[in-house]
Amino acid sequence: MTATLPILRLLKHKDRRLRAGHMWIFSNEIDNRNTPLTAFEPGEAVLIQDASGHNLGTGYVNPHALICARLVSRNPKYPLDKSLIVHRLNVALSLRERLFDQPYYRLAFGDSDGLPGLVVDRFNDVLIVQITTAGMERLKDDIVIALEKVIRPRAILLRNDTSSRELEGLDSYVATVAGEMPEQLEIIENGAHFTASATSGQKTGWFYDQRSNRASMQKYVRGMRVLDVFSYVGGWGIQAAMAGADSVTCVDSSALAIDTVNANAELNHVGDKVIAVKEEAFEALRQIRAEREKFDVVIIDPPAFIKRKKDVNEGLKAYHRLNRMAMQVLSKDGILISCSCSYHLQQDKLREIILGASRHIDRFAQILEHGQQGPDHPVHPGIPETEYLKAFFTRLLPN
């Protein structure tokens, strides 16, 4: 039995990429004569077929988006509905419960968890949800019911205010859809406690993707002077202080982030070691250099400088400049932890940038390790875009 869904048919040969593992369909791949895209509502569920009418699976459509359809299940029996969402959330939950002792993690990571267009971050019994496609937006109520069933949360907040929603013609809003949302989220990561604003924090409020890299950082900081640039609420810096750093300076341009760094330092009894500075990052690095102040470990974990392909040139310049300036304030055998969450900056390119910066300041570089996003952000092997986070740990010596 197949689900009784309207059919979306592809042009000849346009099934190959999907059969090879990809999950997205572009608008120029549709057989518009037989199944015109314009006949579909944004987000409508469909049965996807190749040019000869063979089923490829179920999915959903958005006639207004460049990615005009997404494959949801290769089994034509299962359309995306409440019961499939419950099933996939349970499968996602079982991975996270295997990975972590405590309920603080990314519960669902879009395509990589078979839930294209849906991200859910879990803060114990509080869930922050981000919907980025029309197909998921249509199922918003079912998503809430499914989450209530699988997690029994105290509150659910939709942080539907990301710019990527524009690509799908979706509006921007933030709404509590279940329970009463606390003003502050509470996070436990690698043994450290944090708070972050639920409604005005960055993205979903916390960057769980860096958990394993922050754990790797801890072995480099004992007795060291640490600089955490683009610190947000102190994810790296406070864990550095707790791992035995002598002093930690966190820099961020957001006053709210800086106030929260201070609160989080107190929360973990490292207030005496942590200084939080509200300053623009490049300006802060320029001042530190001008004052000839040095740090033994410098962490740069900026927002994505390359959000879209057209930003590549400008973004590359910014990464070059940032890495150079960060190295200029490193002590004699200092360690730079250089991150990028831009998908469009490939790992090799970041390595080249680090090499280029080390040549620029005439230092000998050793890459000690490189990290990626943690396992609660699985990579879909057919969708390169799901692998986006890079973190290089590099020691810089005199030549």
In the complex with ligand SAH, the residue whose CB is nearer, 40 or 236, is 236
In the complex with ligand SAH, the residue whose CB is nearer, 318 or 383, is 318
Contact status: 130 vs ligand SAH (CB under 6 A): no
Strands 363-372, 24-26: pairing is unpaired
The set of residues, in sequence order, having a beta carbon less than 8 Å from that of 289 and lying 6+ positions away, is: 325, 328, 329
Site for ligand SAH in 208-227 (CB under 6 A): 210
Contact status: 207 vs ligand SAH (CB under 6 A): yes
68 catalytic, yes or no? no
Q: Give the chain's length.
A: 399
Q: Please give the helix or strand (H or E) that residue 235 lies within, else none.
A: helix 235-242
Answer positive or negative: Cα dihedral of 373, 376, 381, 385.
Answer: negative
Contact status: 202 vs ligand SAH (CB under 6 A): yes
Contact status: 392 vs ligand SAH (CB under 6 A): no
Task: Assess contact for 156 and 177: CB atoms under 8 A.
Answer: yes
Question: CA–CA separation, 354 vs 366, rounded Å?
Answer: 10
71: Cα separation from own chain's centroid? 22
The distance of closest approach from Cβ of residue 116 to ligand SAH in the complex, given in angstroms and rounded to an integer, is 24
The set of residues, in sequence order, having a beta carbon less than 8 Å from that of 290 and lying 6+ positions away, is: none
CA angle 338, 339, 340 (to 5 degrees): 135
The distance of closest approach from Cβ of residue 96 to ligand SAH in the complex, given in angstroms and rounded to an integer, is 19
In the complex with ligand SAH, the residue whose CB is nearer, 75 or 200, is 200
The distance of closest approach from Cβ of residue 353 to ligand SAH in the complex, given in angstroms and rounded to an integer, is 18
Which structure tokens are listed for 15? Answer: 């099934």
Q: What is the CA radius of gyration of the chain?
A: 23
In the complex with ligand SAH, the residue whose CB is nearer, 254 or 346, is 254
Out of 68, 250, 339, 341, pick the active-site residue: 341
224, 270, 274, 281: residue in contact with ligand SAH (rule CB under 6 A): 281
In the complex with ligand SAH, the residue whose CB is nearer, 69 or 250, is 250
252, 296, 376, 387: residue in contact with ligand SAH (rule CB under 6 A): 252
Q: Which chain residues interact with ligand SAH by CB under 6 A?
A: 202, 207, 210, 230-232, 235-236, 252-254, 257, 280-281, 301, 303
Q: Which residues are catalytic?
A: 341
